[in-house]
Structure 1
Amino acid sequence: MAGTTVGTGRRARRRTGVNRENVAGWLFVAPVVAILGLFLLLPILMALWVSLTDWNGQGSPFRAGVPFVGLDNYTGLFARDDLSRQNFMISIRNTFYYVMIVVPAQTVLALGLALVVHRRTLRGKAFFRTAFYFPSVTSSVAISVLFLFVFSDSGAVTQLLAIIGVEGPQWFSDSRGLLHLLLSALGLADVDAPPPVLTGGGPFGLSWWEWLSGPSVAMCTIIMLAVWTTSGTFMLMFLAALQDIPVALEEASMLDGAGRRQRLRHVTLPVLRPTLFLVLTLGLIATWQVFDQVYVMSQGGPAKTTLTPAYLSYRTAFRDFDYGSGAAISFVLFLLIVLPAVLRRWVTRGRDAVRDRRRPRPGRS
């Protein structure tokens, strides 16, 4: 009886100690939670309410006279046959090509740079690491303005192409898509007269010819800027992961007769898989949110071929004073970013779980 009383008292004291630790922990994090709730969560909820209204920016969006439209701002982006849906689908098309080119290019370039600066025989590692990383810490606005001068009609790129006998395009005025130009160069299509079978019938108000246009020349310039400025940051991530690879693992693969390519394929890349997933996820998030370069270099032109959802949301809200539709575009963009990332994480976690179950446990034959 006495032992039971002593055990109960110990459990009660233990629960009391745990409760005190929980209270102390919440007291420490309460200021941060309050700040995040006030300056992050509350504005998001306010923007969500604005996306359900037809607020034009006059007065408060929470006053009684603001028209409540429900999900009309969202359904109009997909179902309504008007200019708003056309602009939104054009922005999705442009950003899709942007993402499909920038993410693989910057990932491959970052990995290549990391492998180069990780070599033990390379001299001047500090200089090359700084040089490769420097564009990532430079202001995106400043680099965008620099690219405007470099790719202008009298810029350095156009002059260098002229030296080798190539007439450079008008980089920020050419709205033709690369796939269209390629088909035209091969004699398979005419840019000005597309095949009749592709001029209609496309989804969401755009023809198949418009969906299959490819990135424009102006968008390709922005793509080159994005790849150049972002690969340095991802290079550091890959470099940190490469430095964590045990030297004994590489030496063992060399003793087994593995060449450089075999070590890269069977030793380095499997170890870099978590870092590769992180780089791809961050790259997808950043590319879908591209705004600065478009705002400075093209503002959606020419012919809307550099229009992106982020810039369209800004233009719809702050230039057209349609804050409801602008907020709706931003939340749709949020879903386009979050849902694929969650799906990729779920698929990766499922594969890791299967791999762990198949892995033999110690002590079993």
Structure 2
Amino acid sequence: MAGTTTAAGRGRLRHRVSAVTRENVAGWLFVAPVVIILGLFMLLPILMALWVSLTSWNGQGSPFQAGVPFVGADNYTRLFTQEGLARQDFMTSIRNNIYYVAIVVPTQTVLALGLAMIVNSRLLKGKSFFRAAFFFPSVTSSVAISVVFLFIFANSGAVTNLLGLFGIDGPQWFSDSRGTLHLLLGALGLVDPGSPPAALTSGGPFGLSWWDWLSGPSVAMTTIIMLVVWTTSGTFMLMFLAALQDIPVTLEEASMLDGAGRWQRFRHVTLPLLKPTLFLVLTLGLISTWQVFDQIYVMSQGDPAKTTLTPAYLSYRTAFRSFDYGSGTAISFVLFSIIVVMTLIQRWVMRERRS
């Protein structure tokens, strides 16, 4: 009797193991097409590009043929440690992109949240119209909007003429390479932009002086920033709007009964519940701003005086115009590393803290 029971138990165990095995095989069969496609069109090209970044391939023939010189990490060290134009251009692009990220990400996030709260208000009439109006720039081609901005901010464009009505002589928007922080300090009489302090021009990290690092975004880059904030806030507005509509009305009513004011309700009720959406918006904003390319390509191509040069555009220019595919690919992998590190830091900062 005991032997019969043991045999039955072993049979049930084999049946369960067999069922689990069949489920695993079926699962892998279902995901196999996606895994194969991602491997062929994503993972394999990344590995191929990594190899190219370790060579000095000039685009002639195949990068995997025997005659392509292997330079190891030289393409990377030139960006950080070796004196020369390559490091200067790369660090200039990093400086420009840091200011770009520091202004665009907070501005578009705050603007998107504000717009979402406006169109989510129960007192607002014509909500559908305003939602569509705020979201419309996000679905319009960035290239088309960039061309329109070139006409609007031209020397004889609408913005310059509008400022002229108030007696303001506007700058040459896309030809002005002056840093906005330099202009601000000069307007306040703290420094003379034409002759900066020697302590700020005598040295600095990575081949750029402290005066260069502290220039702020140029007037041309500031114009591009205004365009990007206007065109991206609508998408993030919809994300915040969806999150706001998921917040139970009873929570807001309970906080009002407890005597909480509008700011207290926003700070202690609304904002904590929006934290997952806020993390998503900030992450997407960081990734897109570090990868900015199309507006730079259409509106400035890195000019004037390389003040709108970004790592993404520099990678393209180095590879496809200078035919230095190894250095161009190395720049793209450094940019990828920056995005990953920034995302991990942001995730650590916004993590749930247990008391």
TM-score range, shorter chain: over 0.9
More displaced, 288-297 or 31-40?
31-40
Alpha-carbon distance in 2 for matches of 1:260, 1:239:
18
* Matching residue within 253, 256, 262 for 1:251: 253
SS at match of 2:173: coil
2:161 is matched with 159
The alignment status of 1:325 with 2:320, answered yes or no, reads no
* Matching residue within 290, 293, 312 for 2:292: 290
Segments of structure 2 that go 5 or more residues without pairing to the other structure are none
1:362 is matched with none
Mapping of residues 7-18 of structure 1, within 5 Å = 7-18=9-20
Alpha-carbon distance in 2 for matches of 1:288, 1:273:
22
1:276 is matched with 278
Query: Contact 2:279/2:350 (CA < 8 Å) preserved in 1?
Result: no
Alpha-carbon distance in 1 for matches of 2:71, 2:167:
58
SS at match of 2:339: helix
2:30 is matched with 28
Post-superposition Cα deviations, 1:276-306, rounded to whole Å, max 9, x if no partner, equal 1111111000000000000000000000000
1:347 deviates by: 4.7
Query: Contact 1:180/1:191 (CA < 8 Å) preserved in 2?
Result: yes
SS at match of 1:77: helix
Post-superposition Cα deviations, 1:305-330, rounded to whole Å, max 9, x if no partner, equal 00000000000000000000000000
Q: How much identity, in percent, do the aligned residues show?
A: 76
1:346 deviates by: 4.0
SS at match of 2:175: coil
1:69 is matched with 71
Alpha-carbon distance in 1 for matches of 2:101, 2:347:
19
1:3 deviates by: 2.4
1:14 deviates by: 0.9
Mapping of residues 89-100 of structure 1, within 5 Å = 89-100=91-102
Alpha-carbon distance in 2 for matches of 1:223, 1:43:
32
The alignment status of 1:84 with 2:78, answered yes or no, reads no
2:174 is matched with 172
Alpha-carbon distance in 1 for matches of 2:32, 2:307:
46
TM-score between both structures, scaled by the size of structure 1: 0.95
1:3 is matched with 5
Post-superposition Cα deviations, 1:146-180, rounded to whole Å, max 9, x if no partner, equal 10001001111111111111111000000000010
**C-alpha RMSD over aligned residues:** 0.9
SS at match of 2:267: helix
The alignment status of 1:304 with 2:267, answered yes or no, reads no
Query: Contact 2:296/2:302 (CA < 8 Å) preserved in 1?
Result: yes
Mapping of residues 205-216 of structure 1, within 5 Å = 205-216=207-218
1:188 is matched with 190
Alpha-carbon distance in 1 for matches of 2:262, 2:72:
59
Alpha-carbon distance in 2 for matches of 1:348, 1:20:
41
Alpha-carbon distance in 1 for matches of 2:350, 2:185:
38
Alpha-carbon distance in 1 for matches of 2:208, 2:308:
16
Alpha-carbon distance in 1 for matches of 2:309, 2:350:
32
Alpha-carbon distance in 2 for matches of 1:183, 1:342:
34
Alpha-carbon distance in 2 for matches of 1:24, 1:107:
43
Query: Contact 1:106/1:227 (CA < 8 Å) preserved in 2?
Result: yes
Alpha-carbon distance in 1 for matches of 2:180, 2:217:
6
Query: Contact 1:200/1:206 (CA < 8 Å) preserved in 2?
Result: no
1:260 deviates by: 1.1
Query: Contact 1:161/1:167 (CA < 8 Å) preserved in 2?
Result: yes
Mapping of residues 34-73 of structure 1, within 5 Å = 34-73=36-75
Query: What amino acid does structure 2 have at the position aligned with 1:138?
Result: T
